[in-house]
Amino acid sequence: MTELKNDLYLRALLRQPTERTPIWMMRQAGRYLPEYREVRKQAGDFMALCKNPELACEVTLQPLRRFGLDAAILFSDILTIPDAMGLGLYFETGEGPKFERPLRDLAAIEKLAVPDPELELGYVMDAVRTIRRELKGQVPLIGFSGSPWTLATYMVEGGSTKNFSVVKKMMFAEPQAMHLLLDKLAQSVTSYLNAQIAAGAQAVMIFDTWGGALSPRDYREFSLRYMQQIVSGLTRHADGRQVPVTLFTKNGGAWLADMAATGCDALGVDWTTDLATARSLVGDKVALQGNMDPSVLYASPERIRAEVATILASYGQGTGHVFNLGHGIHPEVNPEHAGAFIDAVHELSPAYHR
């Protein structure tokens, strides 16, 4: 494989010394970029774009042409695994993802098969291979998956939800069914991420978008337990390098110490937890990623720069910080404001690495 020209991101995740704080943005390839909207129009719809390795590669690389980012992230979706399990994923304009055949009982869950990542999800692996080739060692490539709990939420609810009533009904009334589903999903995510690593992903991230909807006890039983299972089963070395693993639970600030104990290398932190607090909770066990509120990017470049300064000061001196938003960039953000954000991190962060 081509030698990596910029490994700041990988070094920071492993808490090795860096000259400045590396930065990438969640959803950095997305609707806020006019060039992305053009390619999506060409693809026809979102999943057609995800399933076309050349177009997925193109949109993965687009933000790197505009901005001084320190990592690329595979363009895909967290719902590829449920789609491969035959639930009939489709997207309705303005309503987000939906499933034709949501899971509502133990019998339906028992019929689910763990997908083969090189067969049912081969288009993702083809995209990873294509992106690695086209990156030419410029920056590392991040692979990812949704967490078992987050995937289960969509699969049981049949789409997005605000109150989680259907999935929590199963969780409390039929825990055996829920645990069977989560175990199958943990197996699926493990094999999926390992296949991404084999195809060329140099770091992986697990997005637990809906873990924050659970109580502390239920989070440990129904979300963290299965992320721990995945972390324990992942390939941790490839291409002669360590492959760092990042866990991110949105609204999960209360559980950072528990998350750090899984054996992962880094934790994503959203804007509801100060990095100083997060750092005090996890000590030197893991690196931290985050954590600017994406809505700050609506503000002036001066205000964005001030927020960057505040977050850098909150983390403080030393390595182990990857700058990011606390969740995905909003579609309406002016790309110039994203550029001001990235430039501010480049300019202000070296002082924290002397």
Short-list 142, 130, 124, 144, CA closest to 23: 142
Which residue is catalytic, options 27, 132, 279, 305?
27
- In sequence order, what are the residues at sequence separation of 6 or more whose Cβ sits closer than 8 angstroms to the Cβ of residue 200? 1, 128, 129, 131, 132, 141
Which residue is catalytic, options 9, 32, 36, 154?
154
Where exactly are the structural domains of the chain? 24-289
pLDDT, position 92: 76
Q: Is 90 annotated as a binding residue?
A: no
pLDDT, position 94: 72
The Cα–Cα gap between 278 and 90 comes to 37
pLDDT, position 15: 98
Q: Is 352 assigned a catalytic role?
A: no
Q: Is 29 annotated as a binding residue?
A: yes
Q: Is 337 annotated as a binding residue?
A: no
Q: Is 154 assigned a catalytic role?
A: yes
Short-list 63, 73, 57, 55, CA closest to 31: 63
The Cα–Cα gap between 10 and 30 comes to 23
pLDDT, position 3: 86
Q: Is 77 annotated as a binding residue?
A: yes
Q: Is 208 assigned a catalytic role?
A: no
- In sequence order, what are the residues at sequence separation of 6 or more whose Cβ sits closer than 8 angstroms to the Cβ of residue 251? 211, 212, 213, 270, 272
Q: Is 327 annotated as a binding residue?
A: yes
Amino acid at 270: D
Which residue is catalytic, options 70, 77, 83, 208?
77
The Cα–Cα gap between 161 and 175 comes to 20
Which residue is catalytic, options 37, 40, 66, 104?
40
Q: What does the CA dihedral 144, 149, 155, 156 come to, rounded to 10 degrees?
A: -170
Phi-psi region of 86 (alpha: psi -120 to 50; beta: other; left: phi over 0): left
Q: Is 36 assigned a catalytic role?
A: no
Q: Is 154 annotated as a binding residue?
A: yes
pLDDT in single tens digits along all 354 residues of the chain: 568 999 999 999 999 999 999 999 999 999 999 999 999 999 998 999 999 999 999 999 999 999 999 999 999 999 999 999 999 998 877 778 999 999 999 999 999 999 999 999 999 999 999 999 999 999 999 999 999 999 999 999 999 999 999 999 999 999 999 999 999 999 999 999 999 999 999 999 999 999 999 999 999 999 999 999 999 999 999 999 999 999 999 999 999 999 999 999 999 999 999 999 999 999 999 999 999 999 999 999 999 999 999 999 999 999 999 999 999 999 999 999 999 999 999 999 999 999
CB 148 within 8 A of CB 182: yes
Q: Is 132 annotated as a binding residue?
A: no
The CATH class given to the 24-289 domain equals alpha beta
The Cα–Cα gap between 205 and 247 comes to 6
Q: Is 27 assigned a catalytic role?
A: yes
Q: Is 28 annotated as a binding residue?
A: yes
Short-list 160, 157, 171, 257, CA closest to 215: 171
